[in-house]
Structures are given as structure tokens and as C-alpha cells.
Structure 1
Amino acid sequence: MCRVCYLEVDTSYGSYRCSTSDCNYIAHARCATDKAIWDGTIMLEGYDERSEVVVDEPWNLITDVVEQIRIGELMVASEIKHSHHDHNLRLTFSGKTKDDDSQCDGCTRPISTPFYSCEQCKFFLHKDCAELPKQMPHPFHKHLLALSNSHDMFGYSCCNACGRWYQGFSYRCYEGNCSFEIDIQCILLLDTLKHQSHEHSLFLVHNNEGTSCSVCFETLGYVAYRCMKRCDFNLDVHCATLPLTAWYKYDRHPLTLTHFDDFEPYQYYYDLCEKERERNRWFYYCVDCDNSLHLNYAIGDLPYVKFGNEIKSFHKHPLTIVKNIWNCPPCKVCREVCNGQALECKKSECNFMVHLGCRWGL
């Protein structure tokens, strides 16, 4: 099976194979030389890409290991200096942070052990995020991608795989005019996905012109998952990365991502936000309370941003990302009061606030 298009390779014709004896990677000649994933570089016979690795430099962004501890037979860095923070970070294996809503500054997901934290400010990094490699390849991009931080740019950025705005770490291409970037969640996706919404395995493919997602019906992006069993099922990365469970403040139970829709017509309304629901669209559902909820209401307009961070924006002052604001001024765009995620100006004389959904047109 071709590892680019996942169709059968007829080996009686030309194809490309990995030269390593224990690797079974193979691709059609046309797929392997697609301009989207090959930059035209010709490798000389006997070339070994491992010779390009600089041994003296660290492979990740940990610039200094200040202190180590022994756990069994392993030595673990208990205090480090990281390229994307000014202070030393200490490792925590158990316990909670002072703020239960703390998020990792790398992947922006809720913090969980083990993690590194700064004793001087609210900066957290999961141990896995702190140890991410400086560079990574992507199967459908022709250049090597470098680890970067959105805060080094404008405070936020947009992933080319899922289309979401995000903060924190990502992998970005710096070759020439190439602007390809992909967030941490998407670059770590497997080539093969078994999703509960479909009976067959799905394969990560590129070159999706003229096709749409079978879930949200939007045109597929640069990469997407596709079923190869001739059932014409496609899943874009945005839908593939939706969390299977979510929590909402007005329901004490976890909500489950629901793919089926055998409800009665009178039930085509979201119970918790009281808006009309389109049939056959995914939604979150509480079995115990028989409550349904729109996707964005459950996970927020921007699930991959860190609350409390400031971003540069259209406003004259930096805006702070906030949530669950009560007794707040109305949004400057839609004029409604915010009860979720918003951008707020902290200047006492300013009184400026705009919903995240209005800010990015979500």
C-alpha cells in the first residue's frame, strides 16, 4: 500500500522504497514526486541523512539541565532552563497547581503530571512538551519543520491542518516563502486513525481537491483522513481532533461527542443553548439529562488558547483572553453580554470587550 495515497502499489511498475532493510515504506512514483511533498532535491548514492545531525547541540529546546534526580536506574532533569522562558522550571510528579484551570504553555491543554513549572510566574510545560524535538518532518510537507512559539509572533497563529487558531508551540516551515505551520496536536496525529464515527480505518492523505468532510460538509483542507473501502467517507483534521468528551457549566455530567442522529424532528434544538440544530451534524450529548449542546459551546470558540495571556490585536491596547465573565460590558461587535470566552482590555478607563467568536468570525 502506498504510504502517500494508501492505494495498492503495482510493483511491476516503478515505485520508491525506503532503502533501510527493516522498513517497508513504499510509494507510487507519482505520489513520491508530488511537488507538495518533494522539493526536487536529488539524494546522491550513499547519502546518509544521519550524518547531518549535529551531535554537540541539544535535540530539544532545553538549553540547560540545572539539576537532576535519580529514579530507579534513570537520571531525570528536575530543574531545567528552556528556550521559551526566562526563568528556571522545576519538575512536579504529583499534586495540583494553585489554580485548577492551569494550562500548559506548550499545548494549551489542562495541566497534568508530570510537568515543569516556574516558581516566579504562571508558566507550565508538560514534561513531554518540554522535551519536544527542535525539528520534525511531516509526511505531507516537503521541508523539515522547526519548533516555534506563537507568542514569539503575534500571540496566536492558525494551524494549516485543522484550521484552528491556537497559542503555544507549533512546528513551522522557514524555507523561503513557505508559511506552513501545524500545531502540536495535529503534528502528533497518526497516519492511521480508527475513529468511533466510522466502521473502517481512516488514512491521512493530502491532495483533497473537490471533496468535502462527511461530518461538517466543509471543503477538505491540506490534509485529511479518508476511508479507502470505497464508502466515500472523509474526515477533516478539525473534526478528527474534537475531544470525545467535554464538560459544560450547566450540566454536572460529562457530555459525549455524538455521531448518530435518530432523534425525533421536534428534538432538533440544542437543549442547553436553545438554538436550532441541523440534522446529521455532530453535537455533544448528556445521556443522564437528555441534554444536547453545540460543539463550540461545549469546547469554546478557541479551545487551544491559554486564558490570561495577552495578544496583539486591532485594539489600541493589548487584549487579555478571559472566560466566564459576569456583569461585564456588552461585546463591541454583536452587542450581547459574554458568558464564555472573550478578549478584554484591562485598562480601567477603556471598558472594551469582544467575544472570541466575533473577533475571529467563528
Structure 2
Amino acid sequence: MEFIDVQAEEIIQHEHPLILEDLQSMYQNYQEDDDDVDDHDLITMQNFECKCDVCGYRIDWYHRYYYRCSQSSSCSYSLHKSCRELSTTLRFPAHPIHTLRLKKSSNSWSCHSCLTEHVDGIFYHCSTCDYEIDLRCATFAEQTLIHHPGHPHPLTSITLDPSLSKCYACGKKHEGVFYHCSTCFYFSIHTDCVTLPFKLSSKHHVHMLTLSYSFTVIPYHSKCRICVTSISERDWLYKCGKCRYYVHLDCVLSRGEPFMSIFSHGIGKSDTKFKAADYPNLLHYPLSDESNNILPYHLRSGDYRHFDQIKSDNMHPSHDHPLLLINVPDTLHDPMRRIKLLCDGCVRPITTMPFYGCNQGCNFSLHEWCTRLPSELENHPGHTLALFNSPSELAYTGFSCSICGLLCNGFGYFCSRPHCMYRVDVHCGFIPERIMHEAHPNHLLSRVKASSIQSTSSTLACHACGITINGGEFCFRCGFCDFYLDNRCALHLPKTIKNRYDKHPLKLSYSPIENHKSEYFCEVCEEELIPENWFYHCQECSQSIHSACAPLILQSEQGFNDSRNDRTGVYKLINMKFGHLVTFDSHPHPMLLVMGTKSDIGLCEVCVGERQSLLIFQCSICKLVFHVSCGPKNPHGQFLDHFGRLLARFFLSRIKPKEKLEHHETAAVTFYPTEVMRPVTGHWKTADEQP
């Protein structure tokens, strides 16, 4: 057999100049907010493939660099970067005793390393031993290397057999082939994650999603929009450059185990898991009525025995003056016209006719249905409750509801057993056993006590506000998903609210708004808004409001939500009506119960403390102001400072501690040689596309 010595320059002799191409340059310079970048060009570039004219093997995107003919429109000549830079001599590990030289032959020959038969071509040859290897075996190390934009160093796959290991990209364990970085010993990535498409179209979102390897701009409180769980600052993810939209890799893609969390977590699949006919009286939340009142529904359903509390002389047990049945629409609660009319029974806006009002002109009103509340609730969980609606100190000091924990100075139901301090407001007295919620369609939410399910989960957090649900609280749980709502967010947030600064109703939103790229802030308190928590939003005007700030518009625009208080979830004084007149023996004038607003910059006359955002008594005649907690003993003998301590304990208990960064273990990787393989980017189907 005749062999001809060749130089590397002779192998790549070509009539046209060659150009070094970087296949990943478009990805390296990619900006998500650049509307001039064509997504189709990015997809085409990642799917690039051609044949090397020297070794005859494939050139792909993961080689990153290759040489092409400068006359590409008429000439398709291409070659690997490694083939362009071949050396004329080689020290081969399988034949260490002699140096191999680059040869060329027009006759057939066989590679002694892989035993492949060749008709002709270029190879490395030992003249002493008559030993030949082809270019693929000679460039084995280069062929196993891949370049990926998600890591700065080349990666190598040298696994002899499929192994079980943790993938750096997705944070999950896989069994199969891994690529490793010899520089960063902790970096090991499964071939499925290596070949993920850089751009992905998903039925979960209106825009194309981009594979992201960097997380410096993702807020720490962001959640996956499919499984509604937290996103690690280390794992790769898909995100949208036009919206605040982030999803886990395994949530947006469907590729079998272990990537199946979409079926076991999150906001539910599209198939309904119950029959509506089996639950004819099921309540659907959020309630569309701005008064957010479930009492009329229960009284109409006939499940409770109720009676008319208005006597023949038009007197009601909760008030000292006769009541009139009013049917004048101009007097209704209307936040757009700054008319604020709250019911003294359920402490909700009066939006329907007729209703009862005091004929003496005092600030007392009742829904018509609040005059027909049942005197007893026998089917309440764990207690037999009696209606409490008599005038007393509770009209201004209030009580803490044993279910929702909110303070209330309206009507309530108290346990009839001696020495039992179980008290609930009228809304929680009718707390449903099961509900449907728009935020979690197709699955029933059942009422449970948090302590009964915390054995399977260390902590429970409300998916609406992110606040931890205490063990003694009732919450609503999905039996199919890891989805929980505390009873405040589940029952007390209406579907729409009105804002006097916006002519459109604002709708309750459960996630960041599509096509909203800017930061969110609340129109009421003018502070930061976290869109991963529920909030109110006007699509036409792009205005947003904390869900806890919404009732401030409906009541008295109090400056309660300052930086010292929680601005998520439900407004903590939603069950308090202000404006009651209270008379003390130590003061000649009636005192008004109000909430200290931002304009109340003075100090308490008793403790010399700030008045802003605290419950205060205020005299409109002599301007005397003091905290409710600093007030004297009321006529019934109960100390008012108990209410102030109760309020302080409540707010301290609801403060959410700052989340700790998740600790990630370093994976130990063992390297083994394997056959040469090249990754291929495939077409990934989303979960909704599965047959």
C-alpha cells in the first residue's frame, strides 16, 4: 500500500478563503427585550448541522466553532475547527511506543482503533508497526467536547454506562448520560438538559419562552407560574422577556419521569376532578359582588332557621333608636362618589336595596338580611353558636374572630358553652365546608385545620399572600395539589373593586400581568407590590393595588398600610367599622372611634406615642386624642388596653420572616470513557400537546 506524507495545509486546500464561524454568537449577545431579534433565526441556528469535508463527520451547534467557505452562496465547503488545525504528528494513547504521522492513501485501509473499513482518505500511520487510525479516533477528545452557552467551559461526556446523578441545570436526579466540566468539578448536566431548545413555544403562555441560565434579575419571591412553587436561584428555567413569567424546566416540558410535577402540583390540570351535580349548593369564589357577602346566599338557601329581629316598634336589639326601611339609591355605598355606607352587622358595604337606617340620623345601618340572621348555628364545626348583636363595648373595642383572626366590632356568634371563649364574626359563622375558587379551577377546595395536615408538610403557606398558615387556623386545601388558601384570602377578597382614581373596575389578579414589563407599585400606598401574590389590577390603565389596600378605598382611605405593617393578603381591619361615638365619664364630650391616618401626625395625649396607623379616640370639639389602648375603663368594666395588646400581637404574628436562600449540595461526579456521541436538539412537546 502506498502512503503519501501530507501537511495539514494540504488537507484543507480549497479554492476560496475560509471563514471561522461562531455558531453561538447570536446566543451570547442575545437580549430578551430586543424586539429586533428574530426567534426563528435563533431556533434555526441551534438546529444547524452540516458535514465536514475532511473527516466526513457531522458539524453541529455544540461544536460552536467551524470553518466555512467564504463563497457560501455557491460553495458548501465546511470543516471542523479541529480538522482545520490537524498536526502532522500524533502521540496516540493506544499506540504509545511510536509517533504516528499524518498520511494520505487512495487504497482501502482499516482503523486499528475502531476497526472501521475505509476506501481511501487521510489518517495517522506508524510505518514501523503498520498501524493506522482514522481522524475520528485521532480527534476523539475534540469529538467528545461540546460547547454550551449555559457554561463558560467545554463539557465532556466520558461515561461508560448510564449513571444516576443530580443534574446541575434542573436540580433533579437523572439516570443516563451526563456531560461534565473538568474545570468546575461540581458541574454535571444530563443530556436532556444539554439539548433543551433555547426558544420554546408553550400553550401555558402567549409569548415564546427563553431558556435562562442567569438569575440575577429574578426577584427572590418569584414562583413558577405552573406549579406555583418557589424558583431556585441556581437552577435553569424558562422565562418570558415580555412579561414577568418564569417556569421550571420540568413544568413547561413533558418528557416522562422524573419531570411529572405538572400532574401532582400547582393550579390543576384542565380536567375537572368532581361532578358539579354532586354539589348543588357549592359556593364559587371570589364573589363578584363588591360587598363580598355570603349571608344572603345562606339565608335564601333555607339551610338555617332565621327570624325577623325588627320588632313592631321598629327597634333592633343592637341599637337604641328606631330603624327605618330605606329605599333611596342615592344613599348607597359608592366609592366613586366617596359615599361610604357600611353595615353595622356584617361590616360590609351596603350596595343593594332596601336596608335599615337609624331615624335619628346617627351612623347606624343594617342590610335587610342582617336583620334576619339565625339566632343559633348548630352545625358549626365543633361549637354551638348563639348570635350576639346587643349594644356593648364590643361596638367599639371589638373581638378577635377565632377562625380568621381578624378584629370585628360587628355582629358575631359566641359559643354557648360556659367559659368557652370561641367567638366568630358572622361571615366565619357560615364558613363553607367546600368551595370552588377561580384561582384553582376544576378542583374542589375543602376546609381543613392546618394542624391536621402539617405532619406531611413542615410549613403551609397561603398561595395568595405567601404568609405561613398557623396550625390552629382553618384553611382551604386541594386534595389533588399542593395548593392552600387561608380563609381570609379565600373568602374575603371580592372579584372586583372600584378606585376613585380609576374609572374602570379593578379585577383580582392571581399572577403577574401579561405584557407588563415594568415594576409594580400600589396606587393606594405607593409602595412596592409583589405580583406573584394576589393583587387588584386595571388592564386598561395598568394600575395595580395591594389586596390589603383595596378596602381602604371602600372605607375611609386610612393610612394604615405603612412600612410597619403587612401589605399582603386581606386588610386586617376589614371587619371594623369606624365612626362610633363613645362617652367616657372622665370627658364631657363624645369620643369618635377612628383609625389614625397619615394626616394624624400628632401624639397620644396619654402615652405621647404616634397616632398614625393606630386605633384612636378623637374628640371633634376639644381635639383630645388618645389611643384606644390608653383609654379609661369602659362602662361595662372591660379595660380597653386589652384590645390594643390584642391588635399588636396580631400584627406581630402575621409578619413574614425573610426567606432564606436554599442551600445546594455539591454533586460528586465520577468520569468514565465512553463512545463518541453528539447531542441533538430535538423538538420538545409541552404537557398540553401530549396525546
Using the size of structure 1 for normalisation, the TM-score is 0.66
| AA of the residue aligned to 2:507 | T
The match for 2:360 is: 120
Deviations 1:77-110 (A, max 9, x none): xxx3322222332323453438842221111212
Correspondence 1:5-16 to 2 at 5 A? none
Change over 3 Å in CA distance of 1:252–1:312 after alignment to 2: farther
Measured in 2, the distance between the counterparts of 1:150 and 1:234 equals 36
Query: More displaced, 236-245 or 82-91?
Result: 82-91
Greater relative contact order, per chain length (Cα 8 Å cut-off, separation 6+): 2
Match of 2:525 among 256, 267, 273: 273
| AA of the residue aligned to 1:299 | P
Partner of 1:267, secondary structure, is: coil
The match for 2:378 is: 137
Pair 1:108 & 2:347 matched: yes
| AA of the residue aligned to 1:352 | V
Match of 1:237 among 476, 487, 494: 487
Contact (CA 8 Å) 1:106, 1:126: kept in 2 or not?
yes
Pair 1:228 & 2:479 matched: yes
Correspondence 1:1-362 to 2 at 5 A? 60=307, 62=309, 64-66=311-313, 80-97=314-331, 100-111=339-350, 112-122=352-362, 123-141=364-382, 143-149=383-389, 151-154=391-394, 155=396, 156-199=398-441, 200-206=443-449, 208-209=451-452, 210=454, 211-216=460-465, 217-220=467-470, 221-229=472-480, 231-240=481-490, 241-261=492-512, 266-278=518-530, 280-300=532-552, 301=571, 302-310=573-581, 320-322=592-594, 328-330=600-602, 343-346=616-619, 348-352=621-625, 360-361=647-648, 362=651
| AA of the residue aligned to 1:125 | L
Measured in 2, the distance between the counterparts of 1:350 and 1:91 equals 35
Deviations 1:177-213 (A, max 9, x none): 2111111122233322111111222112235353332
Displacement of 1:222 = 2.8
The match for 2:98 is: none
Displacement of 1:347 = 5.4
Runs (5+) with no aligned partner, structure 2 = 1-304, 334-338, 455-459, 553-570, 630-643, 652-691
Kindly report the root-mean-square deviation, in angstroms, between the aligned alpha carbons of the 2 structures: 3.7
Contact (CA 8 Å) 1:116, 1:126: kept in 2 or not?
yes
Change over 3 Å in CA distance of 1:343–1:61 after alignment to 2: farther
Change over 3 Å in CA distance of 1:150–1:266 after alignment to 2: farther
Change over 3 Å in CA distance of 1:349–1:63 after alignment to 2: closer
Displacement of 1:271 = 4.9
Contact (CA 8 Å) 1:329, 1:351: kept in 2 or not?
no
Measured in 2, the distance between the counterparts of 1:82 and 1:249 equals 34
Measured in 2, the distance between the counterparts of 1:243 and 1:256 equals 9
Deviations 1:61-80 (A, max 9, x none): 726334xxxxxxxxxxxxx3
Displacement of 1:273 = 3.0
Change over 3 Å in CA distance of 1:331–1:292 after alignment to 2: farther
Change over 3 Å in CA distance of 1:304–1:175 after alignment to 2: same
Change over 3 Å in CA distance of 1:246–1:350 after alignment to 2: same
Runs (5+) with no aligned partner, structure 1 = 1-57, 67-79
Displacement of 1:135 = 0.8
Change over 3 Å in CA distance of 1:134–1:202 after alignment to 2: same
Partner of 1:225, secondary structure, is: strand
Displacement of 1:268 = 4.2
Measured in 2, the distance between the counterparts of 1:59 and 1:108 equals 19
Contact (CA 8 Å) 2:317, 2:391: kept in 1 or not?
no
Measured in 2, the distance between the counterparts of 1:328 and 1:207 equals 39
More strand by share: 1
| AA of the residue aligned to 1:109 | R
| AA of the residue aligned to 2:509 | T
Contact (CA 8 Å) 1:151, 1:168: kept in 2 or not?
no
Change over 3 Å in CA distance of 1:326–1:179 after alignment to 2: closer
Measured in 1, the distance between the counterparts of 2:533 and 2:342 equals 29
Using the size of structure 2 for normalisation, the TM-score is 0.37
Contact (CA 8 Å) 2:600, 2:611: kept in 1 or not?
no
Identity of aligned residues (%): 31
Q: Which has the larger radius of gyration?
A: 2
More helix by share: 2
Measured in 1, the distance between the counterparts of 2:320 and 2:628 equals 31
Measured in 1, the distance between the counterparts of 2:525 and 2:318 equals 39
Measured in 1, the distance between the counterparts of 2:583 and 2:622 equals 19
Deviations 1:22-62 (A, max 9, x none): xxxxxxxxxxxxxxxxxxxxxxxxxxxxxxxxxxxx96472
